[in-house]
Structure 1
Amino acid sequence: MVAGTGVVGTEPVTRRGTGLPVLVLSLGLATVPSAAAGGSVVLTAAAVVLGAVVAAAVAVRLRLSLVELLVVALPVHFYPPGRGSLVNLSLADGVLVLMLLAAAGRAALQRRSPRGPAGPTWPLLVGYTVVLQLVLWASLVGPVLLGGADFPGGAAAAVKIALACAYLLVLYAAVAPRVRAGDRRVLEIWAATATASALIGIGASALYAAGVDLGLSYFWRASGTFEDPNAFSVYLLLSLGVVVAAHRDRTGRPWSWQVPVIVVAVVLTGSRAAMAAMALAAVVTVVLTLGTRAGPTFRRLLVGTAVLGVLAVVILPDAWVGEVLQRATSVFVPDAGAAPDQRYQLWSVAVQQWASSPVLGVGAGQYVPVAQQLLGPQWDTIPHNTYLGFLAETGIVGLLVFLVVPALVVTRLLRATRAGDGDAPYLLLSVLALLMQAFTLSLENTRPMWAVLGLMLALYDPGPPGAEKPPGPATVHGRGLPHSSSARRGLRWS
């Protein structure tokens, strides 16, 4: 059995539903006021307070631990008034702070330093976070000394990535001990939350096509509990593998109605990057799973989902899916006389910046200021490529450091797939889709990306040296299920 994928406990497990209707209602209540705030500081603040109250009510209703509450709050994003698209917040940020304070308070009461979960991955992640921060700040030294650098912007960029890395650390620290104890309920919570968010996105898109604008879509493009369809598509694709893994834990089968719901929601975001990443990641995962025990089942699920997707396009009204198809195919049929794709211009500028400073780049957060020096003040767009963005701003050193954790996740998932783990191919599909979307989107500050990387490392953690593997699965009606009775005691750190 692959470490991190097994389940423990020999007594029957009493499972509790994750309350999908409750999650749909709560996410809707938390998001609608923010979408309708119209840039008002007061209304947005009221929406955040309402969202926090709703989140607390959901936590009590579903008896969520803090890490599970973090997962529920994660997709509720909004942009503060007056900051445009430069700063976005999530309700999960408040839960994250609460978790950190709880950990610090517990350590103070016990009069000892906070300790991370035992095992080789924890010090690696802490070291990764520290080294990444060192590189970000070091990249600013030269530009600041030479003058002309936007130091506040660089400091803000470093702080944003520090916040994002906090999700990586917290998800791993909270989930890894649970998985080692055989409790994988967090997968169910993530899957139910993602499904609820997808249903909200689909419903809002359908209503917009019918002439009713709830403020939960970007025109016809589904944005769900995010205010950005591209960010929504990233979250959905990340969640696809989790949805399958959670259903396999519960039933032993990969297929569930939630899979086409997630896929339809991805298509309705109108994100060409997401649709291309989903197709390409599926092909790559098929190749990587050839000859494995889970490969045939994975391919059957893939084909079945593709067939349902085609049927949905054929059956659904053109007023709903017509815009989606037009946008998806527009990349192959550019308008006559249209200017070159702006993304290629953005990437070209990033390469130029890296060439001017290949080791540590032009400085964290300096892509836009440097581009404005070269091309004029009208240039105010980020590079829309995570890898080129790191390369331009932090050089080859920063890019290599950044890639350590994604490479570790892919390596562990591949190893688990070859070892016969049934969940690994689907989780691998989601991670590969993420890495492919990063070629056309700037995702370095995306909270769900870092959170899911921490979750994957927790699921496939080798564990502390000398630790015994779980003795075997608890069973209900003959099916292997995770032992989750420890997840029923209310709000806790983990």
Structure 2
Amino acid sequence: MTAAGRGAHRGTTLPVLVLALCFAAVPSAAAGGSVALTGAAVALSAVAAAVVAVHLRLSLVELTVIALPVHFYPPGQGSLVNLSLADAVLALLLLAAVVPEWRRGRAADGAARPTWPLLLGYALALQLVLWASLVGPVLDGGADFLGGVVAAAKIALACGYLLLLYAAAAPRLRAGDHRILDVWAATATASALIGIGASALYAVGLDLGLSYFWRASGTFEDPNAFSVYLLLSLGVVIAAHRLRTGRPWSVSVVVIVVAVLLSGSRAALAAMALAAVVTVLLTLGTRAGVAFRRLAAVTALLGVLAVLVLPDEWVGDVLQRATSVFTPDDGAAPDARFELWSVAVQQWASSPVLGVGAGQYIPVAQQMLGPQMDTVPHNTYLGFLAQTGTVGLLVFMLVPALVVVRTLRAARAGDAGAPYLLFSVLCLLVQAFTLSLENARPMWAVLGLVLAMYDPATPGPEEPHRPATPHGRGLPHSSPARRGLRWS
């Protein structure tokens, strides 16, 4: 990238950080339980978003990317309704995306572009499986039908991000415009800084509602969800930086890894280690894998040095939580997750084809063991298996498997950014063994973004355009950015 391009990126990062801080006021106020403060924070975020959008000439999809990590529970709703600021414009953006992307479904020579119809068919197939899984339980009269409707609606919302990010990013990336990657990278870095700062402030006695005790949770109200977002973003951050500079290493990588460690998520730590090993093995013999191995080795070395050098007050809690799984207290009860997983397996065994019904895990578990079973299975695969059966799990895994295949194929073809994206997706798949992530919006958004990056479609008739600068200079007068906010 030219010096002007690097300057434009630097001019993007600070405003995005300011906007992310304004957005962070929403979950912070919601954590305090005040409806008035939460409403005021949402209003502040809307004003800040308008100012930054005008300054950077952000599209609505780029604003959605910035708002995506802002998750909160509305005051008075308990844990029943988890919202993201990005949800507010998702439906509108999808309507704007469907028709143009469908028309782009054929190249100038008439050759089919399969990805968009495949993703749309995937989303519909998931809905079909979810509703089909409810038929038997409803006819038997023992189903929580409302719970099933909510479960199907949550998956539909999540799939909306899959469709949106693919539809928005694919034409841009085909035209050589990587700005959406830069916006995601800046947002992830800002989110990590917010998490680190909130954790540090908690340590000195100031609780902003952006940490779970000392554990960094950023704008997610959940350290585990925070770590999932960060690890998913790590590959995007490295890919974006490599496209600008030709190098994978950046300060943002350090910031994100530190934030992951401060989240105290044991699932994240295990996922990083296992995903790194698998990525190394899968990319052996490729030129793209050499740089990944170097970066992984340097990062591991820096982690060991940090443990040895930094004071115990800084790393003690992280180390204690990371190793607690291997050194349980005497007489401690076995991990509750094993009981949840056992219940899920029993439910699947009772209905192996279509499961016990979407959204029925908790009601059926309570019938089996009593009202104390009131939590999700903490395993994405077993959750799908129990509720939608073998059919549902196979359908669900189609898109993650496609992403792994495409990133691995790109790495073997010499794409230097592919191993890092493969690593991030593998981190997600490992974390899904101990977390219920089927409704995680960032997961679906990153899957759509990566599919857009490695779309095998031939370039369409769109004319390449020059990326916008922070102040919009250099844009042709016919550019949509000259006419105001555009959808993509």
TM-score calculated relative to the size of structure 1: 0.90
Tell me the equivalent position of 1:374. 368
Matched residue type, 1:143: P
- Correspondence 1:214 to 2:208: yes
Q: For 1:442 and 1:450, how far apart are their aligned partners in 2?
A: 13
Q: Which residue of structure 2 lines up, in the alignment, with residue 183 of structure 1?
A: 177
Determine the structure 1 residue equivalent to 2:379. 385
Instruction: Encode CA deviations 1:319-357: one digit per residue, 9 max, x unaligned.
Output: 232111111000000111011100000000000000000
AA of the residue aligned to 1:26: L
Whole-angstrom distance in 1 between the partners of 2:417 and 2:457: 18
Q: Distance in 2 between matches of 1:487 and 1:219?
A: 46
Cα deviation, 1:457-478, whole Å, max 9, x if unaligned, reads 00000115x869999x99xxxx
- For the aligned residue pairs, the C-alpha RMSD in angstroms reads 2.6
> Structure 2: which 5+ residue stretches go unaligned?
107-112, 467-473
Report the CA distance between 1:294 and its aligned residue. Answer: 1.4
User: What secondary structure sits across from 2:437 in the alignment?
Assistant: coil
Matched, 1:416 2:410: yes
User: Which residue of the partner structure matches residue 31 of structure 1?
Assistant: 24
The one-letter code of the counterpart of 1:120 is P
Pair 1:147-2:147 in alignment: no
In 1, are the aligned partners of 2:216 and 2:259 still within 8 Å (CA)? yes
TM superposition shift of 1:23: 2.1
8 Å contact kept, 1:13–1:484: no
1:21 equivalent to 2:14? Answer yes
Amino acid at match of 1:386: T
Deviates more, 1:76-85 or 1:353-362: 76-85
> Counterpart in 2 of 1:462?
456
User: 84, 87, 95: which is aligned to 1:93?
Assistant: 87
Deviation at 1:316, TM superposition (A): 3.4
Alignment of 1:286-435 (within 5 A): 286-435=280-429
In structure 2, distance between residues paired with 1:286 and 1:208 = 37
Q: Residues 372-413 of structure 1: CA distance to partner in whole angstroms, max 9, x if unpaired?
A: 011111210100000000000000000000000000000001
Distance of 2:164 and 2:443 partners within structure 1: 13
Matched letter for residue 19 of structure 2: S
Give yes or no for contact 1:34–1:48 (8 Å, CA) kept in 2.
Answer: no
- Counterpart contact for 2:101–2:167, Cα < 8 Å: no
**Aligned counterparts of 2:16 and 2:6: Cα–Cα separation in 1:** 21
- TM-aligned CA distance change 1:390 to 1:418, over 3 Å: same
Contact 1:184 1:484 in 2 (8 A): no
CA distance in 1 between counterparts of 2:115 and 2:130 reads: 22
Q: CA deviation at 1:74?
A: 0.6
Structure 2 Cα separation of the partners of residues 98 and 13 of structure 1 = 31
Corresponding pairs, count: 470
Give the aligned residue type for 1:451. Answer: A
Contact 2:276 2:423 in 1 (8 A): yes
Q: How far did residue 36 of structure 1 move?
A: 3.1
Do the aligned partners of 1:65 and 1:487 also contact (CA within 8 Å) in 2? no
Matched residues in 1 for 2:329 and 2:270: separation? 20
Aligned residue for 1:178, secondary structure, equals: helix
Distance across 1 between alignment mates of 2:198 and 2:487: 34
Report what 2:194 is aligned to.
Answer: 200
Report SS of the residue matched to 2:86: helix
CA distance in 2, matches of 1:33, 1:425: 35
For residues 60 and 462 of structure 2, what CA distance do their matches in structure 1 show? 26
Shift of 1:415: 0.5
Within 2, Cα distance between the matches of 1:278 and 1:405? 21
Alpha-carbon distance change, 460 to 342 in structure 1, aligned in 2, over 3 angstroms: same
> Gaps spanning 5+ residues in structure 1: where?
1-6, 475-482
Relative distance call for 1:469 and 1:52 in structure 2 (3 A) is closer
Whether contact under 8 Å (1:30, 1:51) holds in the other structure is yes
User: Which residue type is aligned with residue 280 of structure 1?
Assistant: L
Contact 1:350 1:389 in 2 (8 A): yes
Matches of residues 77-156 of structure 1 in structure 2 within 5 Å? 77-103=71-97, 115=103, 117-118=105-106, 119-156=113-150
Separation of aligned partners in 2, 1:203 and 1:439: 29
**Could you tell me which residue of structure 1 aligns to residue 262 of structure 2?**
268
Helix, strand or coil: the match of 1:224?
Answer: coil
- TM-score, scaled to structure 2: 0.91
Paired residue for 1:479? none
Question: Take 1:347 and 1:375, find their aligned partners in 2: how far apart are those partners?
Answer: 13
Matched, 1:250 2:244: yes
Provide closer, same or farther for how the CA distance between residues 468 and 487 of structure 1 changes in structure 2, counting only shifts above 3 A. closer
Counterpart contact for 2:96–2:487, Cα < 8 Å: yes
CA displacement at 1:95 relative to structure 2: 2.6
Q: Is the CA contact 1:180–1:470 (under 8 Å) kept in the aligned structure 2?
A: no
